[in-house]
Amino acid sequence: MVSLLVQKYGGTSVGDADRIRAVADHVARTRRAGNSVVVVVSAMGKTTDDLIRLAHEVSGKLPPRELDMLLTSGERISMSLLCMALADLGVPAVSFTGSQAGIITDTDHTKAKILEIKPERLRKAIADGYVPVVAGFQGMSTDRNITTLGRGGSDTTAVALSAALSADFCEIYTDVSGVFTADPRVVTKAHKIPRISFEEMLELAASGGRVLALRSVEFARNYMVPLHVRSSFTWEPGTWVTEEDPQMEQPVVSAISHDTSEAKITVREVPDKPGVAAKIFLAVADAGINVDMIVQNTSVEGFTDISFTVPRLDIAASLAAANRIAQEIEAKQVISDDQIGRVSLVGAGMKSHPGVTAKMFSTLANEGINIEMISTSAIRISCVMRQDVVERAVIALHEAFEL
Amino acid sequence: MVSLLVQKYGGTSVGDADRIRAVADHVARTRRAGNSVVVVVSAMGKTTDDLIRLAHEVSGKLPPRELDMLLTSGERISMSLLCMALADLGVPAVSFTGSQAGIITDTDHTKAKILEIKPERLRKAIADGYVPVVAGFQGMSTDRNITTLGRGGSDTTAVALSAALSADFCEIYTDVSGVFTADPRVVTKAHKIPRISFEEMLELAASGGRVLALRSVEFARNYMVPLHVRSSFTWEPGTWVTEEDPQMEQPVVSAISHDTSEAKITVREVPDKPGVAAKIFLAVADAGINVDMIVQNTSVEGFTDISFTVPRLDIAASLAAANRIAQEIEAKQVISDDQIGRVSLVGAGMKSHPGVTAKMFSTLANEGINIEMISTSAIRISCVMRQDVVERAVIALHEAFEL
């Protein structure tokens, strides 16, 4: 049976002429094995950074529409070069911009959402025996302007195309060989996970795993697109991200992720009245800031402290928004802390194993690590701690849960 | 009265961040003077060369469709950066790809011809007070692929848009300050011509003048678009290319051009029968080679020699085509000569001054320069000679005709 698969190659995978030729060779092999292939590419290596630097040299203002026009030139270069390399190997290939591939987005420049895919041109190219090479990260808005999809945009393009074309699966080629039980730079014993569920992958992506963007995993889960995350440097089998298999017993803990890119904002001595929390987080959201964890202490004498974490880049904006509201709700003070880190355990088996939280806390206690904030979901436990003990925590937990 | 003008900036004019800011400043001044402006840009400096080099690194094959996709990323970068620089100066600007600007071409990749322009989006942008910044050199074909217009493509875009938008005139900004009586690097006394007719400019462009591409001048003449060729480095007034003014007496000789980029192919001892010349030039044309001058000697004993000039890059292909036909028509031999050069006199006044040819020949004779081929039009005389005497010929003629 002929299968249709989508292969996505990230920026390092197409970083220079040699890499592009290596990718072309792999696409050619995949076809010779009897598959139809659709390729999605990112811009080459540091192209995007170079273009942004150039923009800053030219202007103090970067109108989002023009920034999108600028950045989308990056995939245009990598995709046409890949088609040339494929032609050299005798594989007929044809490149498509986001617009030509029928990727219709909303009008929210620099972080557009895909509204619809009209893959007629891709379907025809496949039927005619071509390999369509599609620009990742970009689309055309409903008002016919060029848009980009923001962080993880190329992964999202690949998954969305897989869904629209009913592909058998979607391969995400990157510079790591899959999803690991922990960051191998921190835990030497960390090993690759052969198979993980969408839910676990979502929790990992949300809690600091950098292998796949959260958004593309959500898309894959919603449209049931099996993902295979693997390396374009070693070409070895990587990690499959699929639906949970109800037949199999789930590992209690599948992986440990950590994140040191956030900061904590605390609003102190908030009068404990209905609606105050809503006011704070409405103001922060209005400033366009993504709040991650939120903790509210037990009220003491009618006052409480509310803490939340935000990307460290957004500290100044978060403080400004929180201070404005603090005055209005008569809170005492707003403080920030950029020396925090977070460690998360993720595992589908947690649902049926009540002792995981206790074991996590006692492991951290044995290491003398103080927990500052806690948040949990059905299959994840996250603890905020001092940044400088994060790596020690990850190593100890990896050992304790015998990963 | 508000005028609408199209300004085209070439690759050196937008070569780096400083140049782009300088161009933005000039566009802003033009607007403040009360004009509506449409800008057409080329790719920055050496971008196109860099992309072609990268393509050769990746592949031995450069499919034309993919080459066009690759190269069109160049204008995308320059046009979005220019819009950002304009935004910085408070000038609302919006970039348009060839496709978005409604430039519809045929399907002849790498040298497409403009079939039609649908400038509705540009008209709306102008009416809304924006400066449209349009990608030069590119369009969308009737089968919805991205095409490029080939050599001089950005000039052609600018002139075609001027015609479609009924612009009052079209400014071509480049790195020289206008059209000169001769190449100032060769003739120290050469000076800028303030005004020249379309016909004269056509002859100059066709005979080696590098300031404007032949094709864009033809377009300007056909649609009566006045051109102003000028420098984006000095911003001084340049050369106006307009319709001939019948009220004014025309100079006998306006300018001298020279060209050392061609080679001569000679088919020797061709049996002098009807149809042999047609066979030769059909074969050469089928090989996609542009023949420039053609000379056929008087027949001696039923045989003649046929010589023609071609771009030096096409020598091998021309020889191959000519040799194939030489066999068929039983000619003796095909030889090539890459050491030729051509010098041309251009002037609308020649039509009414019969002595120009004689004066040109005697001037060259006095310099001891041998004439190898001659071709003339109503307003041009061209002589082919040894390449190493071309500069001496240009200097002597510039002096003799008191330019």
Mean per-residue pLDDT, A372-380:
86
Q: What is the pLDDT of residues B315-363, one digit of tens each?
A: 999 999 999 999 988 889 999 999 999 999 998 888 777 788 889 999 9
Mean per-residue pLDDT, B124-137:
97
Instruction: Express as a percent the part of chain B with pLDDT over 70.
Output: 99
How many residues appear in chain B?
A: 403
**What pLDDT is attached to residue B358?**
87
CA-nearest residue to B66 within chain A is: A80
Q: Residue B214: which pLDDT band, with cuts at 50, 70 and 90?
A: confident
Q: At what angle do helices A47-58 and A64-71 cross, to 10 degrees?
A: 140
Q: Residue A2: which pLDDT band, with cuts at 50, 70 and 90?
A: low
User: Model's pTM, two decimal places?
Assistant: 0.86
Mean per-residue pLDDT, B164-178:
95
Residue pair A330/A295 in contact by the 8 Å Cβ criterion? no
Q: At what angle do helices B47-58 and A17-32 cross, to 10 degrees?
A: 40
Q: Are B100 and A66 within 8 A, CB to CB? A: no
Q: How close A32 gets to chain B, by Cα (Å)?
A: 20
For domain A4-175, which CATH number applies: 3.40.1160.10, 3.30.360.10, 3.40.50.920, 3.90.180.10?
3.40.1160.10
Position A250 pLDDT exceeds 80: no
Q: Residue A148: which pLDDT band, with cuts at 50, 70 and 90?
A: very high
Alpha-carbon distances of A60 from A314, B17, B84, B382, rounded to whole Å: 20, 12, 8, 53
Q: Are B69 and A87 within 8 A, CB to CB? A: no
Q: At what angle do helices A73-88 and B64-71 cross, to 10 degrees?
A: 160
**What pLDDT is attached to residue A1?**
54
Q: Are B76 and A76 within 8 A, CB to CB? A: yes
Place of tokens 């004014």: B248
Chain A residues lying within 8 Å of B100, measured CB to CB? 144
DSSP, collapsed to helix, strand or coil, labels residue A239 as strand
**What pLDDT is attached to residue B403?**
84
Position B291 pLDDT exceeds 90: no
Residue A99's φ and ψ, nearest 5 degrees, are -60, -45
Q: Which of A61, A95, A146 sits opposite B88 (nearest CB)?
A: A61
- CA B319 to chain CA mean position, Å: 26
A vs B: CB pairs below 8 A? 123
Look over chain A and give the mean of its residue pLDDT values, rounded to a whole number: 92
Q: Are B81 and A73 within 8 A, CB to CB? A: no
Question: What is the number of H-type helices and E-type strands within chain A?
Answer: 12, 20
Q: What is the pLDDT of residues B55-102, one digit of tens each?
A: 999 999 899 999 999 999 999 999 999 999 999 999 999 999 999 999
Angle at B107 between CA B103 and CA B112, to 5 degrees: 60
Report the C-alpha gap between A30 and B55 in whole angstroms: 23
Q: Residue B1: which pLDDT band, with cuts at 50, 70 and 90?
A: low
Q: Residue A257: which pLDDT band, with cuts at 50, 70 and 90?
A: very high
Which helix (H) or strand (E) segment holds residue A258: the answer is strand A255-259
Q: Is B91 exposed, middle or buried (0-12, 13-18, 19+ CB in 10 A)?
A: buried
Q: At what angle do helices B47-58 and A73-88 cross, to 10 degrees?
A: 30
Which of A103-117, A359-373, B285-299 has the weakest average pLDDT?
Answer: B285-299
**What pLDDT is attached to residue B209?**
74
Domain ranges of chain A: 4-175
Q: Which of B63, B69, B83 sits opposite A76 (nearest CB)?
A: B69
Chain B residues contacting A via beta carbons under 8 Å: 17, 20-21, 51, 54-55, 57-63, 65-67, 69-70, 72-74, 76-77, 79-85, 87-88, 93-95, 97, 100, 121, 144, 146
Q: How close A136 gets to chain B, by Cα (Å)?
A: 15
Instruction: Express as a percent the part of chain B with pLDDT over 90.
Output: 71
Structure tokens at A142: 């409903």
Residue pair A224/A327 in contact by the 8 Å Cβ criterion? no
Q: How close A51 gets to chain B, by Cα (Å)?
A: 8
Instruction: Tell me how crowded residue A170 is: count the other CB atoms within 10 A of its CB.
Output: 29
If we measure between CA atoms, which residue out of A157, A146, A153 comes closest to residue A73? A146
Residue A132's φ and ψ, nearest 5 degrees, are -75, 130
Report the C-alpha gap between A74 and A98 in whole angstroms: 12
Structure tokens at B152: 């001089």
Which of A193-197, B90-94, B297-301, B365-369 has the weakest average pLDDT?
Answer: B297-301
Q: Are A84 and B77 within 8 A, CB to CB? A: no
Q: Which residues of A32-71 are buried (b: 16+ CB within 10 A; e: fewer)?
A: eeeebbbbbbbbbbebbeebeebbeebbebbbbbbbbbbb
Position B248 pLDDT exceeds 80: no
DSSP B313: G
Report the C-alpha gap between B211 and A316 in whole angstroms: 53
Q: What is the pLDDT of residues A206-234, one digit of tens each?
A: 887 778 888 899 999 999 999 999 999 99
Q: Testing the interface with B: which of A78, A80, A130 to mutate, by most B Cβ within 10 A? A: A80
**What pLDDT is attached to residue B274?**
80
Chain A residues lying within 8 Å of B73, measured CB to CB? 73-74, 76-77, 80
Q: Are A63 and B51 within 8 A, CB to CB? A: no
If we measure between CA atoms, which residue out of A280, A340, A281, A344 comes closest to residue A312? A340
- ipTM score: 0.82
Look over chain B and give the mean of its residue pLDDT values, rounded to a whole number: 92
DSSP B162: H
Radius of gyration of chain A (CA): 23
